[in-house]
Amino acid sequence: MSFLVKTTNCHHLSSTAMALCSSFCPHLPNHFGGRPAYSFPTKPLSFSFKAFSSQASNASSKDELTTRVGFLGLGIMGSPMAQNLIKSGCDVTVWNRTKSKCDPLISLGAKYKPSPEEVAASCDVTFAMLADPESAVDVALGKHGAANGLNSGKGYVDVSTVDGATSKLISGHIKSTGASFLEAPVSGSKKPAEDGQLIFLAAGDKSLYQIAAPLLDVMGKSRFYLGDVGNGAAMKLVVNMIMGSMMASFSEGLLLTEKIGLDPKVLVEVISQGAISAPMYSVKGPSMIQSLYPTAFPLKHQQKDLRLALGLAESVSQSTPIAAAANELYKVAKSHGLSDKDFSAVIEALKPKLQQ
């Protein structure tokens, strides 16, 4: 059996456009076997999965299975990602440890199950967006975990940021059920998640990647397939290691500018027009100057990612002194009660009142 997948390039699809399209979610066959062949029509805002075989070229619509998508973990990132899937027309079933976080999605049309196991059992593809490796393992493999509800023909896509060893552990247990596994950690924070502008760093089962691609395109602007399980996790840790170090250095620059009598607002503008321009500086800078840190990416998660990245570097004997120094700064910020603030609150660790 082979699959013909019709899809559009959804990388820049707005949430408004998605909301206007009630039949946007793909249809999946009962099993993931075969290699998808892609065809890209010019007709906008439509794609579907259809199963074909030489023996059944005239299969009726009842041979198709509307994609049932599970989503586990409805925090800062998971909630808007699941919302975009619902607004695109997907049949979404959700779960979260705190059930009240499911309520807004239920009001949008999502179904609810009381455990990851029941979500996975009722869905074709289940996504998981958890806060840390421990949570990712527990939700996937713990009592009433997703693995208990998986079997051949189902797929599990972990979009959490974890280390490679954790991803491989989860993958091994998922695959032992007969299901397919894909890791696809995201680059991007709250606003890109809301706007469907995330970047997915995927690795693992290639056929599941191809089948999940239209769903990833609803939630993101681009996606990369990086090969074996662990590669996506490693790439994400490298990206976040760089980001954490950049924010620490930017914090030093803002404070130094102010200390020598210059306007930090002008510094932000100067940087925005030069070779080191980055959206992060323009977005975070103005609020940092006002000592405001609305949470888009929690500081505790940035420190966790730096810790995991340093472990990755140690495993291959790669020196990372800048990231190590940045990690210590985030640890100081955490010790002063800033864990749940945005990671840009690391600037507070450099202010005299916290250094005494």
Which of 236, 300, 334, 341 does the annotation list as catalytic? Answer: 236
Cα(14)–Cα(308) distance, integer angstroms? 34
Amino acid present at 103: D
DSSP string, 120-175: HHH-SEEEE--SSHHHHHHHHHSTT-GGGG--TT-EEEE-S---HHHHHHHHHHHH
Q: Is 144 left (phi over 0), alpha (psi -120 to 50) or beta?
A: left
In Å, what is the CA distance from 191 to each residue of 80, 88, 200, 303?
Answer: 9, 18, 15, 20
Cβ-in-10-Å burial (0-12, 13-18, 19+) of 318 comes to exposed
Compute CA distances 354 → 322, 339, 347, whole Å: 21, 14, 10
Cβ-based neighbour number of residue 354 at 10 Å: 14
Active-site residue flag, 236:
yes
Identify whether the C-beta of residue 355 lies closer than 8 Å to the C-beta of residue 335. no
Cβ pair 150, 125 in contact under 8 A: no
Half-sphere exposure of 355 (CA within 13 A, CB side): 8
**In sequence order, what DSSP letters do the residues of 44-112 get, joined into one string?**
SS--EEEEE-TT-TT--GGGSEE-EEEEE--STTHHHHHHHHHHTT-EEEEE-SSGGGGHHHHHTT-EE
Please say whether the beta carbons of 134 and 104 come within 8 A.
no
* Residues catalogued as catalytic: 236
